[in-house]
Structure 1
Amino acid sequence: MPGPYSFQPEGRIGDATLSPATDPRFNPKLVKALATQGWENNLPIGIADENSPLEQLTKEMRAQHYGFSEGFAAIPNYLAKDVNEPPVDRKTHVAQGVDGNHVKLYVFRKSGTEDQVLPCVVYIHGGGMTTLDTLRPGNVRWLTDLAQQGVVSIAIDFRNAWSETEYNPFPAGLNDCAAAVRYIASHKDELGIGKITLEGESGGANLCLATALKANQEGWIKDIDGVYAYSPNVCNVYGWPAERIAREFPSRLANDGYMFDTAGAGAMQSYYAPNIQDRTHPIAFPYYATVEMCRGLPPHIIRVDELDPLRDEGIAYYRKLCSAGVDAVGSVNLGVTHGSMVLFRRAISELHSAGMREIVGFAKSL
């Protein structure tokens, strides 16, 4: 017999017509900000998916890179108080990559702190490991805010899988991140830093988690003191039946199209890992790491967004860390979608500030 209570599944599982403009779970401030870019409606399906040939995937990655770069740059992120903020110095260091390449490191430090040893937050930017520029305006703002809070923030200019000049699939970008972290750890005195925290959102969070797993496997995990992964993109569901996705990651269905569509994500992940066997490789997509691989990792914070298609895979990875005995904390930003804490500094300044306090507090506590 049916139970006494009626139940409607969340989001677009229960009502396929929902969009950010009509889903009652959305923070109204975010809906207003999304509308400035036409993102209050669900994203249209792109020209490629996970099964598309490489040529078509390349066209899709190019379209995503320029489309999102333009959209993100148009989002107002400056606050009135920024006019009076203290200056932040920026320097560039160069690490040697494993492929004979050079990996630039952009170091942000609050002026006047040169004689202090400060905690270090190593920032790895989002973009599905595939697109977006390291020093796009929103990232510079994020790095500046971190430095203003009393840490040295360092951005890794890793190789995206897509670029106008060359194709750099897995593990190129991850290798760059690992080389950069090892460089930073071996130049602490020169950089004036103490403990090292890896921090990133989306694809950058993937690379933070994967770098820690790689370090654990290779025996240099002591170079990393903590990991902060926000909205992590950690699972390639290539070949999964719809029933499995619905069971394990319902957020991919409930929040599909909310500034982030799962077909586009699948295309990006397949472009990043063109070899099918790599699509379940633990350091390509950390969801596939075993509990044993996670043992011995440093403290982690996993923060996800309620209305993000990727929400549930981040939660799943948090639970795996706990099973491995890692000191891990997980939390959910209610009422917002993918990456809002980074992207909407002005529109939801309270969320941005809360994220800053948590990241900097975590880095200083290690």
Structure 2
Amino acid sequence: MDVHPELADVLAELPERIDATRDIQAARDGFKALMAPRMGPDARVTVEHRVAAGIDIQVVRPVGAQGTLPGVLYVHGGSFSFGELDGPSPMARDVCATAGAVVVNVHYRLAPEHPFPAGFEDCYAVLCWLAEHADDLGVDPDRIAVAGASAGGCLCAALCLAARDRGGPRIAFQTLLIPCLDDRCDTASMRAITDRRVTNGTLVARMWDAYLGTDRDRGPVSPYAAPARADDLSGLPAAYVLTCGADPLRDEGLDYARRLAEAGIPVTVKDVPGAWHLFEAFAPDSSLARETTAHWLAALREALHDTPRDVSRDVSRDALRDAPRHVPGEALS
């Protein structure tokens, strides 16, 4: 695995990843321990615990902010099966403080206890709640975005499809960070990343089995489960897509970004060579992690605050050029 020089020593110290499908509690405990150093109080924001549409959420606000602000539904990652369950994630707090937005952090139901569509429908219900209660929350209903990493990125892409198809809330921007999008798991990057210390192709395939449950036995997989299966990407919000070079999900992220661009959707793409899936959590103080986080936060802020440079149109043609191609809606063999 070709690893960025700044990350080589960190990778050398990593143990083998826990397979959540074999020990879900150990996987949840391990992820909580990984995130614990960054889960303490944050003086930049306030956090209000609430229930929306029967689902636990946190409403996160920038300290000292006044007037109407943009709103962001933040959806945590964690293979659809675990996540930052004790409070809003550091990424959600960064969105709030840096993008100057009211963030609604949703605690959706988790697989394998609750396979698709439970978690997705929870997120959609909270998205609708956010739009319906925009005035009460001090949120501009025309500046509501979705943002999430990994499984959260998948759920955000699915929310945009569903909002379009169901005539739901208008979403102004979608931030898809290292998203998992295609349950077929048939790309070059999926086959190439086999290192057991990081998220690899085998773990991703097992994740999809846990999330989809018996859905595959009932017929075609819904694009609300795996957004890469959507035939039509037109009419979706402008997007930011982050991928990493040593991530099995890289190719499907680049493929989805290219398809968005081909459908006329403004899209920004950033690929981080030599970085593995969620590397920022393992090397938070590295220059690469700080620069990567600053890049996507700036894109989200600029999209929500109408700043002069329209980063949503900053398409990286080099990143898209070599992405795998397939016919939308056609199964990969």
Map Cα deviations across residues 282-303 of structure 1 (whole Å, 9 max, x no partner).
Answer: 1100111102xx2211111111
Are the counterparts in 1 of residues 189 and 248 from structure 2 also a CA contact under 8 Å?
Answer: yes
Superposed, which structure 2 residues align to 1:58-137 within 5 Å? Answer: 59-73=22-36, 86-96=43-53, 102-113=54-65, 115-135=66-86
Instruction: Indicate which of 242, 254, 278 corresponds to 1:303.
Output: 242
Find 1:226's aligned residue among 133, 153, 173: 173
The equivalent residue for 1:146 is 95
Q: 2: CA distance between counterparts of 1:323 and 1:357?
A: 24
| Cα offset, 1:35, TM superposition | 4.1
Equivalent in the alignment of 2:149 = 201
What is the deviation of 1:313?
A: 0.6
- The reply on whether 1:254 has 2:192 as its aligned counterpart is yes
Paired with 1:155 and 1:45, the residues of 2 have a C-alpha distance of 26
Query: What is the TM-score with the length of structure 2 in the denominator?
Result: 0.81
Q: Percent identity?
A: 27
Deviation of 1:221 after TM superposition, in Å, equals 4.5
The one-letter code matched in structure 1 to 2:61 is R
Aligned to 1:54: none
Q: What code does the residue aligned with 1:363 have?
A: L
Q: 1:86: Cα distance to partner?
A: 4.8
CA deviation profile, 1:41-92 (whole Å, cap 9, x unmatched):
xx4684x8xxxxxxxx4x443332223333343xx559xxx99x85421112
SS at match of 2:194: coil
1:19 corresponds in structure 2 to none
Map of 1:181 onto structure 2: 127
* Uncovered stretches (5+) of structure 2, i.e. residues with no partner: 307-311, 313-333
> Hey, what's the Cα distance between the residues in 1 that align with 2:3 and 2:202?
22
Q: Is the 8 A contact 1:251 1:312 kept in 2?
A: yes
Change in 2 beyond 3 A, CA 1:44/1:65: closer
Letter paired with 1:124: V
- Partner residue in 2 for 1:363: 304
Deviation at 1:250, TM superposition (A): 0.6
Offset, 1:134:
3.5
The alpha-carbon deviation at position 341 of structure 1 amounts to 4.2
Structure 1 match to 2:115: 169
Q: Which has the larger radius of gyration?
A: 1
* Secondary structure at the counterpart of residue 235 of structure 1: coil
Aligned to 1:309, the other structure's residue is in SS state: coil
Shift of 1:204: 0.2
| CA-CA distance at 1:316 after TM superposition | 1.2
For 1:160, the aligned partner's letter is L
SS at match of 1:280: coil
Superposed CA RMSD: 2.6
Given that 1:65 and 1:131 are in contact with CA atoms closer than 8 Å, whether structure 2 keeps it comes out as yes
Question: Where in structure 2 are the equivalents of 1:40-51 lying within 5 Å?
Answer: 43=16, 46=19
- Higher RCO (CA < 8 A, seq sep 6+): 1
Secondary structure of 2:81 counterpart: coil
How far apart in 1 are the matches of 2:304 and 2:4? 29
Residues in 1 aligned to 2:235 and 2:268: alpha-carbon distance in whole angstroms: 16
- Contact persistence 1:169–1:272 (CA under 8 A): yes
**Structure 1 residues 77 and 70: alpha-carbon distance in aligned structure 2, compared to 1, 3 A threshold:** closer
Distance 1:30 1:344, change over 3 A: same
Distance 2:17 2:69 in 1: 45
Name stretches of at least 5 consecutive residues in structure 1 with no aligned partner.
Answer: 1-22, 49-56, 97-101, 239-244
Separation in structure 2 between the aligned mates of residue 233 and residue 346 of structure 1, nearest angstrom: 25
Preserved contact between residue 128 and residue 169 of structure 2 (Cα < 8 Å): no
Aligned letter for 1:232? Answer: P
250-259 vs 183-192, greater mean Cα deviation:
250-259
| TM-score relative to the length of structure 1 | 0.74
Aligned counterpart, 1:314: 253
2:220 is the alignment partner of 1:282: no
Mapped to 2, the partners of 1:340 and 1:360 lie a distance apart of 22
Match of 2:183 in 1: 236
Paired residues, number:
299
